[in-house]
Amino acid sequence: MTVFLGGPRVPPVRGGKPDALVILLHGYGSNGADLISLAPYWAEALPTAAFVSPNAIEPAPGALGGYQWFPISNLDPNLMEQGARHAAQSVDRFIDRELERYGLPPERLVLVGFSQGTMMALHVGLRREKQVAGVLGYSGVLVGARTLKEEMRSKPPILLIHGDRDPTIPIPALFDSAEALAASGHGAQWHVSYGVPHSIGPDGLELGGAFLAMALKTKQILAAS
C-alpha cells in the first residue's frame, strides 16, 4: 500500500522558484522536523534549492511524535530488505510528486538520509530509472545488496559518512556498504567521522554540503572552479 507522505519544507534562501530539490529522509523514531534542521547549514551552498523532509510511513512504537520507514528490532538483512522494499513505493511516489510540484527533472534532485533514512535513500535512489543527482547517506547501511546488481537502474554519485563511535549501526556497516556497491557494479565515496556516535559531526556537515553542491553544480561551485 502506498502512503502519501508530507512534512516540513524550507524554501530557497534566494526566494523564487527553486531550481533544485533536496529530499531528506529521517531515521527510525525521528521525524521530518528533526532532519529539516540540516537545511540552514547547507542553504548558503545551495541558495536556489528547496528542502523537504517527509515523515516516514507509520508511527514508531514508543516514540512520541516519531515515525519509522519500516519496523526494525535488529539489523537482520532479510527483514530490512523486505521493509525497505515495502516503504520504497511511498518514497518513490513522494519523489515523483515533489519533482512535479516544482517542475524539476530528476537530475536536479538529491536524496539525503540518516540511519534508516539512508537505507531508504540508497534503496530508492539506485532503483529509479531516471538518475538523480546524488545520494548522501549518514550513519546507515545498504540493504538489499543481494539483489542490487539485477535491480540497479541508475548509478548516481554516492557519499557515505559514518561515525567511528556509532553504537547503533557500527562502523563496519560503512565498509560493508561500500564493498557491496562495488560488487554490484557501482561505487561510493566514504568518510569516517572520528569520535562521532550515531549522529552527524561538523566534518560530516561540511563534506555533505560540498557533495550536494557539486552534485547539483551550484553557481558558487562553478564560479570557484
Q: Does CATH place domain 9-224 in 3.40.50.1820? A: yes
Query: Across the chain, what does the average pLDDT equal?
Result: 93
Question: pTM score, two decimals?
Answer: 0.94
The grid coordinates of residue 75 equal: 539489523
Mean pLDDT to the nearest integer, 160-180: 97
Parse the chain into domains and list their residue ranges: 9-224
CA contacts within 13 A on the Cβ side of 15 = 0
Residue 224 has pLDDT above 50, yes or no: no
Q: Give the CA distances from residue 168 to residues 57, 138, 162, in Å, rounded to whole numbers and listed in that order.
A: 22, 12, 11
| CB 152 within 8 Å of CB 184 | yes
Please classify residue 169 by burial: count the beta carbons closer than 10 Å to its beta carbon, then call 0-12 exposed, 13-18 middle and 19+ buried: buried
The pLDDT value recorded for residue 158 is: 98
Confidence of residue 218 (pLDDT cuts 50, 70, 90): low
Residue 221 has pLDDT above 60, yes or no: no
